[in-house]
Amino acid sequence: MAQDADLRTRARETLDRARDHLLAAQHPAGWWQGELETNVTMEAEDLLMRQFLGILTADVLEPTARWIRHRQQPGGGWATFHGGPADLSTTVEAYAALRLAGDARDADHMRRAREFVLAEGGLENTRVFTRFWLALFGQWPWQRLPAVPPEVVLLPPWFPLNVYDFACWARQTIVPLAIIRSVRPVRPLGFTLTELRTGRRSAPPPSLRHRSGWLHRLDVVLRGYERRPLRPLRRNAMRRAAEWIVARQEADGSWGGIQPPWVYSLLALHLLGYPLEHPVLRTGLAGFERFTVRDRTPDGEVRRLEACQSPVWDTALAVVALADAGLGPEHPALVRAGGWLLDEQIRVPGDWAVRRPGLPPGGWAFEFDNDGYPDTDDTAEVLLALRRTAADGRTADALRRGAAWLRGMQSRDGGWGAFDADNTRRIARDLPFCDFGEVIDPPSADVTAHVLEALCAVDRADSTAARRAVRWLLRAQEPDGSWFGRWGANHVYGTGAVLPALVAAGLPVRHPAITRGVRWLTDRQNPDGGWGEDLRSYRDPAWRGRGASTASQTAWALLALHAAGAGDSPAAAGGIGWLVDHQRADGGWDEPLYTGTGFPGYFYINYHLYRQVFPVSALGRLLGADPSPAPVLRTTVPAESVPAPAVPVSSGPGSTAVVGGSTAVVGGTAEPGGRLPGVPVELVEPGLAGQPEAPA
């Protein structure tokens, strides 16, 4: 870009407008929050939940139904992401919600939806979650649903397929579903959905030559037990499951700050006798209002729900972006944001402590209220953000605690999952009721890269944890030179995260892994100069790095090229030109395409702030506006042992405790067996280091 003065001038003007647009979006309290847009199952299930509980009202039903109609595709179905193919289960749930709203079966939009459903296999071909909703209203037989015995909560953490073998989002869903499946309620819907049946028989179970075949046979046995459970054991399991659920309710009334466990937890507790006036249910139902978005349209008001909210993530990204754009650490916006982020650090253990009982807390969560489930991805980004703000008296301590928690959450293989360490029991994926997306939380390239970059910034790039992470990322590179993106779309996101992390860790830009990653990006650049990757790449490799250009994905590619020393390349100039040419007059960018991922292949997200923060970061770095980060205090301490007392799992109502009892030895020298022999393990404060690193 250096040779094109005109492009540089236009890019500078683009950056200034984008920076001001981002600054204007900050909340007075210091945080940013963009809408988190998903698909109409959020609204359909909200209406069905309210119908089941007897609290559905016209002021909720009518604007929600209007939104669902607005999202229907011309072919009759509803998709899981903008521009994507229609999805059977999503369409069935939307159809049921519109029937609930009074839409006639023979209306044109309903006829088109029904024809799509029948062509795709009807109710018989829907996923398990959809059939659970149908069973609640007598539209699917309970005995034809997979067994989810509540006795699973009684299994100790070392026992295979205990609740902690599942990812946090899955375990929070499975426990209440186990209660619902055991009670097997049926309540009136006011109509039937027989018109969506094909009459076809269910597919035969998988062959016994495959593990999934044996698990399907186990499901048959468990369904037999469901008909005649051991009554004392079942009563104890139901009581323990209810306690487990109540202990994990957050201050805002949610469970994990996400829709599925929230909805199913309310239903489960209600079925166990909790009245709607009970504080747990009352708080839970009231909490949905914060996640509700209402807009005025020419057709009237529409109402939609966010599946989750991302203020911590959005704020950290915004701070980094504005610092990249040239704002200094003392800028009032960064000072306010830094103070808010410091207030959000989590100082109580959560479910992650089951696998890391001796690790002191110190992470950050995604949401406003989610003390039970901080995640490594948010924590990494917050550490990077706090380094860019003017330190107050808490910053150095927060950085130390956060870095220590991240080190302790490293998995045995050297990578990081999002919410848990070593959550890799792959057999869970083959269980019959686990057809709703990823149910475990193994290390991924994007999360590992973000954590590595943060540790290099606040700790040491040559630490044992960082060097093991580098080896993990080098092993994870795809044959084509890219990296998989678990939480963003997809290989553009993964590659855009990994290349800056590897450079931060000290790999030279001419390292073969980096040059192959750069080549992959430049080969996938669109003719218009931008980058895009369709979400279908999670199922079809032909879509990897292919798709219409978007602001966020173009910025990810530019950030990677800048880090890899290719910021002056023709490819980078083309990407900058795309951002310049597609900016709105107000300084923002339009991005209807989804570039975020919940469950690869199943659930996708449009983060409305992505289109703003990442272009600001990319343009700021490429234009050289990035000031030096604020200095970070480091201290080295001798090795010592940290006792692990019993600690509360959650600060929510009815908190329970997990038993620690083990001792985490910190400091000392790394051991052989896949680790780096003789490399000292640096710690930063007594009592704040994590678990000793397990051999890779």
**Domain residue ranges of the chain, discontinuous segments joined by +:** 5-36+308-409+444-622, 39-305
Which of 1-15, 353-367, 653-667 is most confident? 353-367
- Expressed in percent and rounded to 5, the helix, strand and coil fractions of the chain are 50, 5, 45
What element of type H or E holds 297? strand 292-297
Which percentage of the chain shows pLDDT scores above 90?
A: 80
CATH topology (fold) of 39-305 = Glycosyltransferase (1.50.10)
The lowest-confidence range among 99-103, 144-148, 497-501 is: 144-148
Give the Cα separation of 188 and 571 in Å (integer): 59
Query: For the chain, what is the mean pLDDT?
Result: 88
Q: What is the mean pLDDT of residues 445-472?
A: 95
The string of pLDDT tens digits covering residues 381-414 is: 999 999 999 978 899 999 999 999 999 999 999 9
Confidence of residue 635 (pLDDT cuts 50, 70, 90): very low
pLDDT at 433: 64
CA-based Rg of the chain, rounded to a whole angstrom?
25
Q: Which of 693, 686, 643, 647 is nearest to 663 (CA)?
A: 643
Q: Of 121-135, 466-480, 648-662, which range is least confident?
A: 648-662
As a whole number of angstroms, the distance between CA 485 and CA 469 comes to 16
Q: Which residues are annotated as catalytic? A: 377
Record the tokens describing residue 629, joined without a space. 């980060």
What pLDDT does 409 receive?
98
- Tokens at residue 682, please? 């640096």
CB atoms under 10 Å from CB of 231, counted, come to 8
pLDDT at 194 over 60: yes
More confident residue, 690 or 281: 281
Instruction: Report how far residue 287's alpha carbon sits from residue 348's, in angstroms, rounded to the nearest whole number.
Output: 22
527 has pLDDT over 90? yes
- State how far the Cα of 34 lies from the Cα of 315, in Å rounded to an integer: 10
Say yes or no to pLDDT of 620 above 60: yes
Residues 6+ apart with CB under 8 A from 637: 667, 683, 684, 685, 686
pLDDT of 219 reads 65
Report residue 514's pLDDT band, with 50, 70 and 90 as the boundaries. Answer: very high
Collapsing DSSP to helix, strand or coil, 648 comes out as strand
Which pLDDT belongs to residue 208? Answer: 73
Q: What is the pLDDT of residue 694?
A: 34
Residue 682 has pLDDT above 50, yes or no: no
Encode pLDDT of 158-177 as tens digits: 998 899 999 999 999 999 99
Q: What is the pLDDT of residue 640?
A: 28
Q: Report how far residue 456's alpha carbon sits from residue 450's, in angstroms, rounded to the nearest whole number.
A: 10
d(CA 509, CA 40): 44
| Residue 633, pLDDT above cutoff 60 | no
Overall residue count recorded for the chain in this entry: 696
Kindly tell me if the per-residue pLDDT of 82 is higher than 50: yes
Does residue 686 have a pLDDT over 70? Answer: no
Q: Name the residue among 695, 590, 680 with its Cα closest to residue 637.
A: 680
Beta bridge partners of 207: none
Whether the full predicted model's pTM is greater than 0.85, yes or no, is yes
pLDDT at 675: 25
Nearest Cα to 610, choosing from 32, 11, 40? 32
- Can 5-36+308-409+444-622 and 39-305 be said to share one CATH topology? yes
- 5-36+308-409+444-622 CATH, one of 1.10.10.10, 1.10.3720.10, 3.40.47.10, 1.50.10.20: 1.50.10.20
Q: Which two tokens stand for residue 393?
A: 């008296």
340 vs 343: CA distance, rounded Å: 5
CA angle at residue 96 from 90 to 98, to 5 degrees? 100
Q: Which of 186-200, 218-232, 454-468, 589-603 has the lowest mean pLDDT?
A: 218-232
| Torsion angle of C-alpha atoms 460, 486, 427, 422, degrees rounded to 10 | 20
What is the pLDDT, as a whole number, of residue 648?
Answer: 30
Question: With contact defined as beta carbons under 8 Å apart, do 253 and 284 qualify?
Answer: yes
The span from the CA of 222 to the CA of 404, in Å, is: 42
Q: Which residue has the higher pLDDT, 433 or 645?
A: 433
